[in-house]
Structures are given as structure tokens and as C-alpha cells.
Amino acid sequence: MPSRGRHQSSSKECHQIMRKIEALDGVVGVIIGRSYGGKSLGQGSSTGAIKVQRKVSGGLKAVTQSSKGLQELFIRTEEGAEERIWETILGW
């Protein structure tokens, strides 16, 4: 996957988790979406924590905790790999 520019709302930990996701078998790429300041994934969430929200056509929708709030992610997957990737991320 080609190198991207630094996304201003994503922290170092978020970039690390995105690279980790991109390295999974069956992942085509990770697309950075909107960011929302001041929100949290839940009690005690640390920067870089990730939560897969739902399966959508072509992949998975997820959010990650950045130092400035929440960062939306779209995880583009190969067809049929969504469940396996979701389970892998859930185990982190």
C-alpha cells in the first residue's frame, strides 16, 4: 500500500494500530474517516484502542481512540474475510 501523509487528528498509537491491521491477511487497506474530539470508546480506553462497529459492503467500520478523540476507520477486506478479521481485532 502506498505511503500516506500524516493525518493531523491521528496519534502515533492510531497509526501503529492501522499498520497492524493492514498487515493482517485478507485486509486490502485502511481508510481514515472523520474524527470526533472529546469522545471516548468507554471506561479506561487508552490511545490506540480499537472497536469494530459493524460489517458493511466491502469491509468493516471501526473507530480508534486517538489522543484528541475518536477516529473513524474503514477496513477494506477481501470478500469473505470480514468475520475472521473482526475476531482477530477483538482478540487484541
> Alpha-carbon distance 64 to 70, whole Å?
6
> Where do the structural domains in the chain lie, given as residue ranges?
12-90
> Alpha-carbon distance 19 to 10, whole Å?
13
Average pLDDT rounded to a whole number, residues 60-64: 95
> Alpha-carbon distance 71 to 34, whole Å?
6
The pTM of this model reads: 0.83
pLDDT band with cut points at 50, 70 and 90 for residue 1: very low
pLDDT reading at 13 higher than 60:
yes
